[in-house]
Every structure is written in C-alpha cells, then in structure tokens.
Amino acid sequence: MRIKEHPILNFQPGKKVAFTFEGKKLEGYDNEPIAAALVAAGIKVLSYSLKLKRPRGFFCAIGNCSSCLMRVNGLPNVRTCIVRLEEGMVIERQD
C-alpha cells in the first residue's frame, strides 16, 4: 500500500517497472529499493532464518540487519533494502 495524500511530502514516483517475486508478477517503481516495492505490494515475509526458518521482514532499511537478504536475478544475499528495483528483476526468497 502506498500513501496517497500527505500534508508535507509530494512523492514523485519513478517509472513503473514489472518484476517477479516467487514467480508472481508485481509492479513497482524504478526509484525505490526492491524491499520497499515488496512491502508496498503487501509482502511482509522477505526471508526465513537459516536454522529455525522463522519469517524475516523489512527491519532496518540501511543494509545493516540482514533481514531482507534475498536472491535477485539468481544472486543470493542481496541487501534488497538498498538495491534499486529494475525492470524484469527476478526476486526470490533464498534457501
């Protein structure tokens, strides 16, 4: 979900881009990080913890906490909160 009206800020969305998450087609903007586009699309679980497989969500937004590490175009451990979304990206939860 996205903010529609704001008393101070005027959001300027970038170019609309299509990407896939776990095989599902989604849309976001090319001026936002991958993880923000996922949250906007209502996806809260970005990864699972290694040992206990507990769900992990968006947490720090500065590339520090490892909660949002995902596989992007086949490359694992991408810090999706600080990598910009691009057209055609293939995003997956990593094992």
Partner 1 sequence: MKEYDIVIVGGGPAGLAAATTAAKCNTSILLIDDGLQLGGQLIKQTHKFFGSSEQFAGIRGIDIAHNFIDELSHLSNVEVLIQSTATGYYEDGILTILEGYNGNKLIKVRPKRLIIATGASENMLAFINNDLPGVYGAGAVQTLMNVYGVIPGKSVLMIGAGNIGLIVSYQLMQAGIEVKAIVEALPCIGGYWVHASKVRRLGIPIYTRCTLKEVRGKDEVQGVTICDIDNKFNFIPGSERELSVDTVCLAVGLSPLSELLWQAGCEMTYIPELCGYVASRDENLKTSRDDIYIAGDVSGIEEASSAMLEGQIAGLNAAASLGLYHENYQKLNHTFHKQLAELRNNTMSENIIRGIKKATLVEGGSHVCSS
Binding mask 62-81 for partner 1 (x = CB under 8 A): xxxx------x--x-xxx-x
Report residue 91: phi and psi, to 5°.
Answer: -110, 130
Place of tokens 């959001």: 11
Buried b (16+ CB within 10 A) or exposed e, 66-89: ebbbbbbeeeeebbbbebbbeeeb
- Site map (CB under 8 A) of partner 1, residues 27-56, x = contact: -----xx--x--xx---xxx--x----xxx
Q: Please, which of residues 9-28 interact with partner 1 by CB under 8 A?
A: 9, 11, 13
Residue 59 binds to partner 1 (criterion: CB under 8 A): yes
Q: How far is the CB of 75 from partner 1 (least distance, A)?
A: 6
| Shortest spacing between CB 21 and partner 1, in angstroms | 14
